[in-house]
């Protein structure tokens, strides 16, 4: 008898895991094989993934569509013969023993993702079999709240939401305030475009987060917790609801947990689509039903948070670390990572990377190690240009600095931040000016409008960048951007405004030549800013169908049917119409030729 597991998190489903599951369901029916589903194991580039588990032997197949599912079922599960061509990872008795993507998993160290991809996230029983709720039992029955906090201080765990504040210290602040009511808040409002590790943890191992919150409640003396999850993650919300209901039924949540006299309840609050609500004071305002606008600190949340009560707020990944630390001890956690940034961190690899997905590694490994050792380098073998870390609050790290160790000390030196762990990789076709504009467009749109500099200042910066990408920039613009950027950083109340200019400032620091190419030569070297490029037809791909010529509003395209067409660069107005109508991807852009001067 074998167990068949289908990876069913959002990434798997968008690759078609639902169909795979359905077809396997029909095949399994009537046999003694068991079909179940699991969360994301991190190999998003190979989704949908199907695992066949026979005792200790695990075989994971990649890109399993309906047809391949049938083949695998008939040959491997029924016939007993493995299909090595499709195997991405194989393990026997806990040891990796083959598969095309063995390196991807082997080079990782998994604490936060310890259960993701291994258990059915909607089964409390499977979580318990992996040692689930033992940490809670220990925290509630065996050790005191002070010991929980000192264990966390020993571990050196730092907040994984981005700021890196020591978690143990944060808890001790909140524990120090006397109050009849206190709150534990889990920030699951993962708004950074390009980051999806919290979603994967919530979808793959929701009980670990609940456990972290219960332990936190015990440590600081709170009896109630909120999980603030963004509404764009319906599956994560569903899995959390199932997990909470199961935990309540089993007595892990509610009154008198484990007979310890400690009670704890958790409620889910759905976000309503506002990036600024990832900032803790804005998040509290949103929980209270207000417009999610940040508040002035002090008073800090540890003193006055949700509904004016002492509140401790941590990120999903931070909470997922807690049960492991309580079970294994703070010193064991220190075996991973560096002295000042202990432990592991989950990174979301996306953009122009060959193997996009999730990777958990010890802090202090280099950018190169993560992107090339695990991520497999750049898509289509192109040139590595930069990696963006920290989303709209972070910055771009150029290829020259790829030996930088990734931790809370070294990344800020480059002008980027650790952030929540999104790594968006860029190749030579990505325009850095456009990236700066993109992030500012995002923060400008998401600014809540409370602080003048954040509200108007970001808009002025955005307008300037838009002018530059349209080819109407002036040389003084860069100075103005730098000056205004500094002012916005100083005159904003919350993290959104204080960091909004970072993407612009960091790209100007490393890629001033690209800014100048846009401003002086009216050319986009990466071939990305539409107004500053030449459109070209690739002869080999053009079939001569003539659709582009028909669609061109200025008749700049001409040719003979069934032969490659040509674009007259002088007449072209760079509207991009031909590119969207070409059915053969035959139209390409290059930076405008700079006249030799």
Footprint of other proteins (CB under 8 A): 10-11, 13-15, 44-45, 47, 190-196, 199, 231-233, 269-275, 286-293, 307, 348-352, 356-357, 388, 391, 422, 424, 426, 430, 435, 438-439, 442, 448, 576-577, 579-585
DSSP lists the bridge partners of residue 358 as 348
The DSSP line for 64-108 is --HHHHHHHIIIIIIT----GGGEEEEEETTEEEE-TTHHHHHT-
* Shortest Cβ 378–other proteins spacing (Å): 12
Considering the complex, state which of residue 188 and residue 325 has its C-beta at the smaller distance from other proteins.
188
Name the DSSP class of 223.
-
Strands 3-7 and 50-54, by their bridges, are: antiparallel
Please give the Cα distance from 417 to 439 (Å, whole number): 14
3-state secondary structure of 427: strand
Considering the complex, state which of residue 151 and residue 192 has its C-beta at the smaller distance from other proteins.
192
DSSP lists the bridge partners of residue 225 as 184, 266
Considering the complex, state which of residue 46 and residue 365 has its C-beta at the smaller distance from other proteins.
46
Please give the Cα distance from 242 to 407 (Å, whole number): 35
Considering the complex, state which of residue 196 and residue 336 has its C-beta at the smaller distance from other proteins.
196
Q: How many CB atoms lie within 10 A of CB 23?
A: 18
* Shortest Cβ 432–other proteins spacing (Å): 11
* Shortest Cβ 403–other proteins spacing (Å): 23
Q: Where are the alpha helices (DSSP H) in 118-230?
A: 124-129, 134-137, 145-155, 167-175, 197-204, 206-220
* Shortest Cβ 584–other proteins spacing (Å): 8
Residue 535's contacts (CB-CB under 8 Å, 6 or more residues apart) are 567, 569, 572, 574, 576, 578, 579, 587, 588, 589
Locate 303 and state its tokens: 């003193």
Considering the complex, state which of residue 286 and residue 341 has its C-beta at the smaller distance from other proteins.
286
Considering the complex, state which of residue 83 and residue 531 has its C-beta at the smaller distance from other proteins.
531
- Burial class of residue 9, CB neighbours in 10 A (0-12, 13-18, 19+): buried
The CA-based diameter of the chain, rounded to the nearest angstrom, is: 84
Q: How far is CA 491 from CA 25, 293, 391, 454, 479, in A?
A: 58, 16, 21, 8, 18
Considering the complex, state which of residue 168 and residue 394 has its C-beta at the smaller distance from other proteins.
394
Considering the complex, state which of residue 118 and residue 274 has its C-beta at the smaller distance from other proteins.
274
* Shortest Cβ 431–other proteins spacing (Å): 10
Considering the complex, state which of residue 323 and residue 422 has its C-beta at the smaller distance from other proteins.
422
* Shortest Cβ 347–other proteins spacing (Å): 12
* Shortest Cβ 440–other proteins spacing (Å): 12
Considering the complex, state which of residue 261 and residue 289 has its C-beta at the smaller distance from other proteins.
289
CA–chain centroid gap for 218, Å, is 29
* Shortest Cβ 485–other proteins spacing (Å): 20
* Shortest Cβ 356–other proteins spacing (Å): 3
Taking the alpha carbons of 519, 520, 526, 531 in that order, is the dihedral positive or negative? positive
List the helix and strand counts (H, then E) for the chain.
24, 19
Taking the alpha carbons of 198, 199, 200, 205 in that order, is the dihedral positive or negative? positive
CA–chain centroid gap for 443, Å, is 17
Considering the complex, state which of residue 148 and residue 350 has its C-beta at the smaller distance from other proteins.
350
* Shortest Cβ 436–other proteins spacing (Å): 12
* Shortest Cβ 288–other proteins spacing (Å): 5
Q: 204, 44 in Cβ contact below 8 A?
A: no
Closest residue by Cα to residue 182 from 222, 218, 227: 222
Considering the complex, state which of residue 155 and residue 388 has its C-beta at the smaller distance from other proteins.
388
* Shortest Cβ 230–other proteins spacing (Å): 9
Considering the complex, state which of residue 213 and residue 287 has its C-beta at the smaller distance from other proteins.
287
* Shortest Cβ 354–other proteins spacing (Å): 11
Residue 381's contacts (CB-CB under 8 Å, 6 or more residues apart) are none
* Shortest Cβ 171–other proteins spacing (Å): 24
Q: How far is CA 576 from CA 24, 533, 539, in A?
A: 44, 10, 18
Residue 227's contacts (CB-CB under 8 Å, 6 or more residues apart) are 185, 186, 188, 209, 213, 240, 266, 267, 268, 269
Considering the complex, state which of residue 119 and residue 435 has its C-beta at the smaller distance from other proteins.
435
């Amino acid at each position: 008898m074998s167990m068949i597991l289908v990876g069913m998190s959002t990434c798997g489903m968008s690759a078609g895991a639902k169909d795979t599951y359905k077809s396997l369901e029909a095949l399994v029916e009537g046999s003694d094989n068991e079909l179940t589903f699991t969360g994301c194991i991190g190999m998003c580039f190979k989704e949908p993934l199907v695992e066949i588990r026979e005792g200790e032997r695990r075989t994971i197949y990649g890109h399993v569509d309906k047809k391949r599912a049938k083949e695998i079922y008939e040959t491997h599960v029924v016939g007993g013969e493995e299909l090595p061509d499709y195997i991405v990872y194989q393990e026997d008795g806990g040891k990796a023993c083959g598969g095309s993507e063995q390196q991807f998993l082997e080079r990782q160290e998994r604490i936060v993702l310890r259960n993701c991809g291994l258990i059915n996230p909607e089964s409390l029983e499977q979580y318990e079999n992996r040692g689930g709720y033992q940490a809670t039992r220990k925290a509630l029955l065996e050790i005191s709240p002070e010991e929980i906090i000192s264990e966390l201080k020993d571990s050196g765990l730092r907040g994984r939401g981005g700021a890196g504040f020591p978690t143990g210290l944060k808890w001790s602040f909140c524990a120090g305030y006397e109050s009849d009511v206190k709150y534990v808040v889990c920030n699951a409002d993962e708004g950074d475009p390009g980051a999806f590790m919290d979603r994967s943890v919530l979808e793959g191992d929701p009980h670990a987060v609940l456990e972290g919150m219960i332990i936190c409640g015990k440590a600081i003396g709170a009896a109630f917790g909120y999980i603030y999850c963004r509404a764009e993650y319906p599956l994560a919300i569903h899995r959390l609801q199932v997990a909470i209901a199961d935990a309540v039924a089993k007595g892990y949540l509610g009154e008198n947990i484990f007979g310890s006299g400690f009670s704890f309840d958790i409620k889910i609050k759905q976000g309503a689509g506002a990036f600024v609500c990832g900032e803790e004071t804005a998040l509290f305002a949103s929980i209270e039903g207000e417009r999610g606008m940040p508040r002035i600190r002090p008073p800090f949340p540890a003193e006055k948070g949700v509904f004016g009560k002492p509140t401790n707020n941590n990120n999903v990944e931070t909470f997922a670390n807690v049960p492991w630390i309580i079970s294994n001890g703070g010193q064991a956690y220190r075996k991973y990572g560096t002295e000042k940034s202990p432990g592991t961190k989950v990174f979301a690899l996306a953009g122009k990377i060959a193997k996009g997905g999730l990777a958990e590694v010890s802090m202090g490994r280099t950018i190169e190690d993560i992107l090339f050792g695990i991520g497999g380098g750049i898509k289509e073998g192109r040139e590595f240009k930069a990696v963006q870390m920290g989303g709209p609050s972070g910055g771009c790290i150029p290829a020259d600095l790829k030996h930088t160790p990734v931790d809370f000390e070294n990344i800020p030196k480059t002008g980027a931040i650790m952030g929540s762990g999104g790594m968006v990789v860029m190749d030579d076709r990505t325009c850095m000016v456009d990236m700066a504009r993109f992030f500012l467009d995002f923060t400008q749109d998401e600014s809540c409008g409370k602080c003048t500099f954040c509200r108007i200042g970001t808009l002025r910066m955005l307008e300037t960048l838009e002018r530059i990408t349209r080819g109407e920039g002036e040389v003084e613009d860069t100075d103005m951007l730098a000056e205004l950027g500094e002012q916005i950083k100083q005159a904003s109340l919350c993290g959104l405004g204080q960091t909004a200019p970072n993407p612009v400032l960091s790209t100007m620091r490393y890629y001033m030549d690209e800014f100048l190419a846009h401003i002086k030569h009216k050319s986009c070297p990466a071939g990305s800013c539409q107004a500053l490029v030449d459109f070209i037809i690739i002869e080999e791909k053009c079939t001569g169908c003539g659709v582009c010529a028909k669609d061109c509003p200025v008749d700049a395209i001409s040719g003979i049917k069934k032969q490659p067409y040509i674009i007259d660069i002088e007449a072209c107005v760079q509207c991009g119409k031909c590119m969207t109508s070409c059915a053969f991807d035959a139209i390409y852009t290059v930076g405008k030729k700079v006249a030799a001067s």
